[in-house]
Structures are given as structure tokens and as C-alpha cells.
Structure 1
Amino acid sequence: MELEVRHLRALCAIADAGSVRAAARRLSMTQPSLTTQLRRIENALGGRLFVRERTGSRPTPLGRTVLSRARPIVAEMAALITEAREAVLRTDEARLRVGSTGGTGSSTVVGWLRRLHARYPGVDTTVHFEVSANLLLRMVAAGQLDAAFVHEVAGCPLQPPPGLEQRVLVEREPQFVAVSASHPAAHRAEIDLADVAQDSWMVDPAADGEWDGLRRVFAAAGLNPKVVLGDYNTAGILTAAGEVVMPCQPTSASRPGLVVRPLAGDPLTVRLLLVSRPSPAPGTDADEVFSALREAYTEIARGCDAYRRWLLRHGSPLLAGDPGAESPAGPPPAG
């Protein structure tokens, strides 16, 4: 068997996603077919490339060696394809391609796009979503994206390729928890980790740093909850049904059957970043792209009651100029 670029792309996807199942979803393949492909690659190379653990798939020493050579090849091939397609489709119209991890808040991204369209009416602006922040950063470095809105879990730094610019949107955003409206702790203004330690926590293995960040937080509290690996697209349904609880952004809205509450003491936090190339696209400006993102995020944050109360308590600059920032915070909303 001769290794092809598609095989290297599959290996990188497994490493980035953290499991064969998540990688198969990303590659639009079935899990059995990707598993079979992985076994053929391992047979061709003469050794195991990944070890399957409770939390997913981890590269072996041989796997890390292969990945270190595979990633540049995959990135270069992706850049070549992108450049070739752009050469074919190139027109006089400028293009701005932005990316985002879905977890950073789709409402923010919608507002961001609206503002970018208003700022640059002559620019074709598109958005690309990925669960993995590190994958988005590599796409920016490879020229497949101009900028990416990502989150970095505290204690689990991202790995931005050299040559990219970083702008900090929020230095410390608290992560809240989503629970079923029938959960015993759902009526509280804040939920303590101990109150949800007996629940199953759903974590998407493709979300860089989220499982490691949770594990660190629980270990520090002397807790060891059960973890369920899955994707956040279906997590809301399971949470509302009382099957799992899950971490979520403070801008997430409660909905029928599901409530969002702060975690007492803010044990889990992330840093929100815009990472871009120095010159995002002809006719655009990186500072303006960031300004549009900041305006969109601020609008959503101010409109989210639970998060707004948190911002008030912490004197956040996000509320600067908000006429209601000096008013006392009211009681928490009912579930």
C-alpha cells in the first residue's frame, strides 16, 4: 500500500479531532471505513499510530513522528488547492474569509458577519465553522482563511503557527453550565461543581483543550465525574432530557427544558481571540475586522441576563458606556 495525501489527511483528522468517530464525522466518512483505513495505514507503516483510550485516540511515539511529517504536506496541499481554485474563480471582487469555532457563539458570529457586510459592501465575506481552534489557526496560516475567532481554554494554550497576528477580545470569559430544567440545582443562581459531580458531562473531543481543561478543574476540586464524548450539536437535546450536563459559553441562552447557570467561583475560563493574517484581504483592515467582532460580542453579552450580571459584578469593560451598567443586578431568571 502506498500512502496518499488522503491517508495523511485522515491521520491528521484523527489527531485533531481526538477520536476516530469525530474524525470520521469531519471527513464525511463512516467510523468503520475510517477505522479500516487506519488499520491499513498502520499495516503499511509497520506499527500502531494511535492508542485508543477512554477519552479518545492518542498518538503513539510513531504516530507523533508520522504526524510531524504529514501535517506540512497536508497544509501545503490544502493551500495549493485553495490557490488553484481562487485562480480559476478570481474576479475583481475582493473576498474576506473568516472562521469560528461554533462554541464561541453562533449569535456573535451572525452579528459579526452583519457588521462586516455593512463595513465592506463590496467584499464577498464568507464564514467557515470548525470545532477545532487549532485547525482554524492552521487554515489561516495556510491562506485558506483570512481571520478566525477562536477560544483558548485556560491552562491549555493553542498552537498558532508563526506569522499570525493575535487580538484579545476577552481575556477571561467564564464558562457556564447547561443543565436540564428539572435538575435539582437548576433553580439556583449559581451551580457548584459538587452539585453536578454525579452527572455525566458531555465533551466534544474535537474541541481543543475542553476535556483537558475540565479534567484539570475537577481534579483540583477532588472530583471525578463520568464523561461522555459526543458532539455539541446533539448535546442540547441530551441535556434537556436530563441525560448529561455540559459546559457552555455565558452567551448561551436558556431554552425550553434547558437552563444555563454560572459555575460558582468561575473554575473554568477561556480567552477569546481573533487570529488573522497581517493583511486579511484587499480592501479590508485587521483592526476593523476585530472592531466588528468586538461590537457583535458586546451586543450579545449585554443582552444575556446571567452573563450581564456576571459582567456587572466583575466591573467588565464590556459594559463601558452601557446606561444600565450602574443599576443593581436583579434576581436570576426563572428556569
Structure 2
Amino acid sequence: MDLELRHLKTIRAIADAGSLTRAATALGLAQPALSAQLKRIERALGGELFERGREGVRTTALGDLVLERARVVLPAVCELQEEAVRFARDGAEGYRLGGTHGPLLGGLVDRIARTDPGAPVTTYTSWSEREIAGGVVAGRLDFALVGVCGESGPPEAGRLAWTEVARDPVYVMLAADHPLAPRTEIDLAELAAEAWTDVPGDGCFGDCFAAACVRAGFTPACVYETDTASCVHLVQVGRAVGLCRATFPVTPGLVTRPLAGAPLVWRHLLGWHPEGRAAGRAAAVLHHTRAAHEEALARSAGRTTTPAPREGTPR
């Protein structure tokens, strides 16, 4: 039997788990099947890799040697695969854009279509900022358009180049007939008795919102985490008040208002792989994204925003 990458992954999984039972669970195998596979690997390598005991397994001297090499080879092969995917896919002259919920992705697509009508544009959306960033790292996407709460760092910060597009205060979304709707600004404490609704995400926004409520003297009684359309419906029928960005479009039946003191801030970020072929188009895409943000802000009820620095230096 020739040694394969999957065999090295099995060896690493057993060593990391410390027992065949736990390793079998992690690999999604039955323990007898994993034991049989390990015996075949050991025969191919000429000796035992693990000593079995009551408390689990530990590597032999041969096992240490193989495991040391496996922990060098496996990441190198993974990196090679990612680079190959990027090389094969980034050569296309089109734009592969990934983004989370919000109006900026649509605005960016529109601007690219207007200024570069011959270039194909594809999009991928997800509520997960990490998933979008991972798509750029893996070469499946050229650019990631995501947001983070306050001064939080972006996902994959060490592998992608990130630039701030703009930062907006977080607004509250109310039914048009809500008692506070006529106000131009609302203190967070005035909403202490309300149920809330917001879209999901894998950043720290939920924790930051909870902390802001505690500073305002209350704990949210209920938070409905759901898609944008459902959030809008819950607000329109008076079931909850919502959290939204200043770029949220004007929508019948509801109004958006800034929170006094801007206790929550949302930063729009654009990311790309610095070694990908699409990196040469980053400056143009950043320009289009900032213009799309300004256009979205102009169409919304929000007007308070802090423009990002215009030099476009990756963060």
C-alpha cells in the first residue's frame, strides 16, 4: 500500500485525539474501521505508530517521526491547493464578489456593470463574514464586502488585505406609528421595554449590543434573530424594534432613527488576497464600493456617517 495524504490526516487525527475512540468520532468512522486502517498504515510504514493503553494512545518513536513530517506536509499541501485555485480562477477578467446582507453589494454590482459592461460579475452572499472571507482565502471569490462592529478586527486578518470603506452609526428601526417615530433621535434607554430584531452574524455585534443596553440600564427582554425581510415585517406590525445600518433604504411602514450618542458603530470593509491576480483591481473596486455606500446613504433616511480615509491603505 502506498502512503497517501488521507493516511497522514488519520495519523494526525489519532495523535490529536489521544484515543482511537475519539479519533473515530472526529473522522466520522466506526472504531473497528479506524483500527483496521491504522494497522494497514503501520504495515506500510514498517512498524507501530502508537502504543495502546488504558488511558488512550501515545506515539512511538516511529510515530513521532511520521507525525512530525505530517504536520509539515499537510499544511504545505493545503496551501498549495489554495494557491493553485487562486491562480486558476483569479486569471479571469471578471469579478467574483462576496458579501453579507445590505445594500452595498447590489450597488457595487451596478457600478461595475455600468463602468465595465463587458466583464462578467458573479456574487455570493452569506450571513457569515468568516465564510465570505474564507472564500477569498480559498480563491473562490475575488473580493469580500463585509462589516464589523466598532473597532473589531476583520476575519482572516493575517491572510487578506482589508480597507475600511466607511463607518456608520447603528440606527433603530421603528414602525411608522410608533410613539417615538416623530423623534429625530432616540435614547437607547427609552427602548428598554421593547422586543428587538436583528439579522444574524458571526461577529461580536450581539455582544456589543447587549453591553450597550446594560450601560443604558436594561437587558433586552427578547431578540428575534432572523433574515432582513422578517425583521422588517416584525417592525412594521409593531412586534419589535430593529437594529439597522444608516444605509438602510426607506421602506413603507417604518422609519429609522439614530441612537443618541451613537452607542453602536458599524464599519464597512472591503477585503482581497494581496497575492491574488484580482489585487490589481482592488483600488477600482474600492472606489466603486465607496461610491455605492454614498449612493445608498443618499437613498436612505440616514445622513450621519464618517467617511473613511481616501488613501485606500490596506488595514
1:120–1:284 contact (8 Å) kept in structure 2: no
- Equivalent position of 2:244 in the other structure: 248
Q: State the alpha-carbon separation in 2 of the partners of residues 264 and 218 from structure 1.
A: 13
> Could you say which residue in structure 1 is the equivalent of 2:95?
96
Secondary structure at 1:123 match in 2: coil
User: What 5-or-longer segments of structure 1 have no aligned partner?
Assistant: 1-39, 47-71, 321-335
Task: Output the CA distance in 2 between the equivalents of 1:277 and 1:101.
Answer: 18
**Normalization by structure 2: what TM-score?**
0.66
After TM superposition, list the pairs within 5 Å mapping 1:1-335 onto structure 2: 83=85, 94-102=93-101, 105-106=102-103, 108-154=104-150, 156-170=152-166, 172-233=167-228, 234-278=230-274, 281=277, 285-304=281-300, 306-308=301-303, 310-311=304-305, 316-317=306-307
Q: Report Cα offsets for 1:33-84 as digits up to 9, x if no partner.
A: xxxxxxx9799899xxxxxxxxxxxxxxxxxxxxxxxxx99xx69x77x949
CA distance in 1, matches of 2:27, 2:210: 30
Q: Which moved more, 1:120-129 or 1:202-211?
A: 202-211
User: C-alpha distance in 1, partners of 2:136/2:30?
Assistant: 31
Q: Distance in 1 between matches of 2:199 and 2:209?
A: 12
Q: Secondary structure at the match of 2:148?
A: strand
Higher Cα Rg, which structure:
2
Q: Is the 8 A contact 1:190 1:261 kept in 2?
A: yes
> Any idea what SS the aligned residue of 1:94 has?
coil
Distance 1:179 1:282, change over 3 A: closer
What SS class does the counterpart of residue 120 from structure 2 fall into? strand
Does the CA contact (< 8 Å) of 1:94 and 1:122 recur in 2? Answer: no
Root mean square deviation, CA, Å: 3.5
1:182 CA drift (Å):
2.1
For residues 300 and 98 of structure 1, the distance between their equivalents in structure 2, rounded to whole angstroms, comes to 18
Question: Which runs of at least 4 in structure 1 moved beyond 6 Å after TM superposition?
Answer: 40-46
Q: Distance in 2 between matches of 1:301 and 1:207?
A: 25
Distance 1:265 1:285, change over 3 A: same
C-alpha distance in 2 between matches for 1:240 and 1:295: 30
Distance 1:114 1:166 in 2: 22
Q: 1:161 to 1:141 in 2, by over 3 A?
A: farther
Query: CA 1:155–1:226 in structure 2 vs 1: closer, same or farther (change >3 Å)?
Result: farther
Offset of residue 285 of structure 1:
1.0
Q: Percent identity?
A: 29
Q: TM-score, normalised by structure 1?
A: 0.62
The amino acid of 1:163's aligned partner reads R
**Residue 317 of structure 1: CA displacement?**
4.9
Separation of aligned partners in 1, 2:278 and 2:28: 47
Structure 2 residue identity aligned to 1:256:
P
CA offset at residue 282 of structure 1?
Answer: 5.7
User: Could you tell me how far 1:130 is from its partner in structure 2?
Assistant: 1.0
Structure 1 residue 115, shift from structure 2 partner: 1.8
Aligned length: 240
Question: Could you say what secondary structure the match of 1:267 adopts?
Answer: coil
